[in-house]
Structure 1
Amino acid sequence: MSTGVSGTVLAAGQVLLALAAALGLGCLGRVLARLLRQPPVIGEIVFGLFAGPAVVLVAHRRTGTAPVLPGAVTEALTVVGHAGLALFLVGVAHELRPRTGRLSRRAVVWVTAGTLVPPVASGLLFAWWVRSSGDPGLRTVAAWPAQLLMICVALTVTAVPVLARILVDRGLTATPAGRLAMTAAIVADAAAWILLAITLGFATGSAGGVVTAVWVVAAGLAVSVLARPVLRLDRVARAAARHPWPAAVVIGTVALGMAAGTEHAGLTGVLGAVLAGLAIPGGSRAGGWAVAVGKVVAAGRLLVPVYFVTAGLRVFAGPLPALSWWAVVLATALAITGKVGGGYLGARLGGLPRREGVRIGVLVNTRGLTEIVLLQTGFTAGLLSPALFVALVVMALVTTVLTGPLLSFAGGSAGEGSSRSRLAGEPARPKP
């Protein structure tokens, strides 16, 4: 009996120690990212993902013959990391509602099309290169249509949370460029989540998997749409405002339950969390739910670094994958061309000036957390090889890191030429 108790205490101590180390890495990454004037999530991603190979090298484990951490510890960290990610994605989905306001319909349509169509074309081109390159390290045993869709999704994403933070830091939230970029990013991410579910259906290699994915997404969206009017009722919203902590517990529990449900259906838990977030009223109709969602997101944000650490351990637990520099260079070049070029072209076709077009293209090129989550999901499902996963992670980090410098070069702040264009649907204001 005493041996069993001592073993349980030892295992709990190992889990707590590993958890503290993962949270410490996330904190250190955020501090260094701020010093380098980068979004804090960049530091969390880099320190978390590459903690895996660091542990492998320190432990002299290049052959992958023994676990880096005890299995129970790794499993516990994985559960904690996925729970944190699900809670954080509730807030991401809560923001996935275009707010066009007084923006012109023409500008919104063209910028959104520019944010979606050229990146998909870039993804198709990169997928063709992966298939024709002959590099076995980039191929997987998954069905080719599933890998093709996964690559297209990877080059289509814009990270809404990171973009929102950049807009606030630069004072661009209320400008036409900022609002158009955010609207296009929201539509692109919503499309990416739906495509990801269909891609995971293709990954099963049968038509039944695709049908299941479509039904799960359709049912989840229906539940979200039906639940929102109930949550908007004055009595319900006032109760949430008076008791934010219980409301946050309910939201978190439902999100984790839906994440487990979509995972059980053969898709990904992040989809369930996103669907849960979509059910919560947003904007001016959010009522008392905004505070509760904020508490859920804060808990998720605290635990998200654990997700990156476990993702890194999973990728680098075996022999270190050979990095294909050609894949890195081509993926990065096509990602930048598709997003920056597409955003610029869409803005110009929408009637915006050149500088606004450049600014929008640079903003929608931000990837960050959303990209890493989608890539990790594709890797776990066997749609991305370790080498291709690493190449796309490097692409995501490079494009996000470049956002700040490129935005500065394009005059990307509220006081640097971010005029409010009539063509964006807002009247010009006379100078004082």
Structure 2
Amino acid sequence: MATWMVQVSLIITLSLVLGRLAEKVGQSRMIGEISAGLLLGASVFGVLWPNGYAALFFNDSLEDLKVLADLGLVLLMFEVVWHTSFMHTGKIRNARLIPLVITLFGVSLTFLIGCLIATMSKETLAPDIALWPYVFFCGLALSVTALPVLIKIINHLGCMSTSTASIALSSAIYTDVLAWVGLAFLVAFNSVEKTSVVGGLVSILSLIGFCGISFYMIRPLISFLCREQVPDRNKSVQLVFAICYCLMSAEVTSQLGFHQAIGVVIAAYVFCKVPGLQHTWRLTIGEFAHVFFIPLFFAYSGLQVSFGYFLQFDTWLWLGIFAFGGFFGKVVGTYLAGRICGLSPAIAMEVGLLMNTKGLVELVILNIGLQLGILSEKAYGIFLIIALLSIVTTPPLMNCFAKLRGDDANVQIKGSK
């Protein structure tokens, strides 16, 4: 049997077990899947059974695993855009303005704090990496919010008003958009440093041109051809066309010097309104992807973390500083923006706590940073642990705040009907 087959069997089995355990205690399945990678890495499995680890997870075999993990990332990112259907704000006054202001305040403050901490930590965490790409990357990674994880947390928590959930979800969507735009410019900035200003400018203009073609030519064409539900016998054709465009878009952005995840997001927005596609996807590709490919991506993210770095005091010190800075920036920035927009203190604080949730988008950004050499392995491990901590701690913090606020559970926006 080929080594990658044993790897995959071991990973998906352990991911299933740990994912179920995570769900049993009210956490996201992603926690268990990343933990599977951490346990199978050199710092745990490699220490407990060195010969077994050397036989299964040698460098060449990890290249095969990375291909499957990248495919899992592509399939997962294609689904993320469908979460925007949750963006509803009911009868809240200034429903579109409030989430936008919250996003700008929360992202800006967290980004600045992240850049400041990164500047101070650079010599310790990333001495061999260029300053500005590392600094901007840390600011970006610290300021994102995990929309899919946030949706699951809101669905499991019954201690918040509809206003809180709506504003948090809408703000997370805007944050995702800013994160992808920021990531695209960061990758372009990094390519300029490695090549030339002209080459970087050509890449950016090419990406903008591809976005224009996708949104203003391909998307209207798809909408025209699929304006009605297609018969069941033709749904496979629709699905194949969506997958092929997704993969082609990922390859185009990859060839332009950007990560394939950016191309997948572009393709996802092209096909997100196709009637019946979401249902067909989830019954066919989605079900298999969440059992097979996506756990491989999360586990591969965990495999790249070395616990050896966490034997050093400075690693824990910078982890604590980054974690506190990210929490402070998100909660305080969101709270101030919410109060300026007229939210009650209770709702503003709830939204701030929810916006600190990290997850999928940060994992994608971290993997891109590691691949491009913008992020060191030590910093990668720190940010991955921060992402896990934010997911684990958000539900307890929300429940604790719900008990503290008491009768304010149904407080609404000032002036809302």
- Please give the range of the TM-score, normalised by the shorter of the 2 chains: 0.7 to 0.9
Matches for 1:242-391 after TM superposition, within 5 Å = 243-282=234-273, 286-294=274-282, 295-302=284-291, 303-316=293-306, 322=312, 324-391=315-382
- CA 1:258–1:270 in 2, change beyond 3 Å: closer, same or farther? same
* SS of alignment partner, residue 337 of structure 2: helix
Show the counterpart of 1:22. 11
- CA 1:99–1:361 in 2, change beyond 3 Å: closer, same or farther? same
Q: CA RMSD in A?
A: 3.1
Show the counterpart of 1:7. none
Show the counterpart of 2:108. 120
- CA 1:235–1:381 in 2, change beyond 3 Å: closer, same or farther? closer
The answer to whether 1:157 aligns with 2:152 is no
Show the counterpart of 1:42. 31
In 1: Cα distance, 2:281 partner to 2:202 partner: 30
CA deviations 1:139-162 (Å, max 9, x no partner) are 3423x2222221121111111111
In 1: Cα distance, 2:260 partner to 2:311 partner: 26
Letter in 1 for 2:40: A
Letter in 2 for 1:54: V
Show the counterpart of 2:219. 228
Contact 2:309 2:378 in 1 (8 A): no
CA deviations 1:157-205 (Å, max 9, x no partner) are 1111111112222258981111111111001111101111111112221
Of 327-336 and 202-211, deviating more is 202-211
* SS of alignment partner, residue 410 of structure 1: helix
In 2: Cα distance, 1:31 partner to 1:348 partner: 39
- What is the number of residues matched between the two proteins? 406
User: TM-score, normalization: structure 2?
Assistant: 0.86
Letter in 2 for 1:163: L
Letter in 2 for 1:395: I
Shift in Å at residue 391 of structure 1?
Answer: 1.1
Shift in Å at residue 116 of structure 1?
Answer: 3.5
Shift in Å at residue 401 of structure 1?
Answer: 1.0
Shift in Å at residue 263 of structure 1?
Answer: 1.8
In 2: Cα distance, 1:301 partner to 1:267 partner: 25
* SS of alignment partner, residue 120 of structure 1: helix
- CA 1:199–1:105 in 2, change beyond 3 Å: closer, same or farther? farther
- CA 1:377–1:332 in 2, change beyond 3 Å: closer, same or farther? same
Show the counterpart of 1:203. 190
CA deviations 1:76-105 (Å, max 9, x no partner) are 211111101101111102334784554546
- CA 1:290–1:417 in 2, change beyond 3 Å: closer, same or farther? farther
User: TM-score, normalization: structure 1?
Assistant: 0.83
In 2: Cα distance, 1:253 partner to 1:264 partner: 16
CA deviations 1:255-274 (Å, max 9, x no partner) are 12222222222211111111
In 1: Cα distance, 2:331 partner to 2:7 partner: 40
Structure 2, unaligned stretches of length 5 or more? none
Letter in 1 for 2:337: G
- CA 1:75–1:417 in 2, change beyond 3 Å: closer, same or farther? same
Show the counterpart of 1:88. 76
CA deviations 1:305-325 (Å, max 9, x no partner) are 211333344454998885611
- CA 1:129–1:228 in 2, change beyond 3 Å: closer, same or farther? same
- CA 1:376–1:50 in 2, change beyond 3 Å: closer, same or farther? farther
Matches for 1:163-202 after TM superposition, within 5 Å = 163-171=150-158, 175-202=162-189
The percentage of counterpart residues that share the same residue type is 24
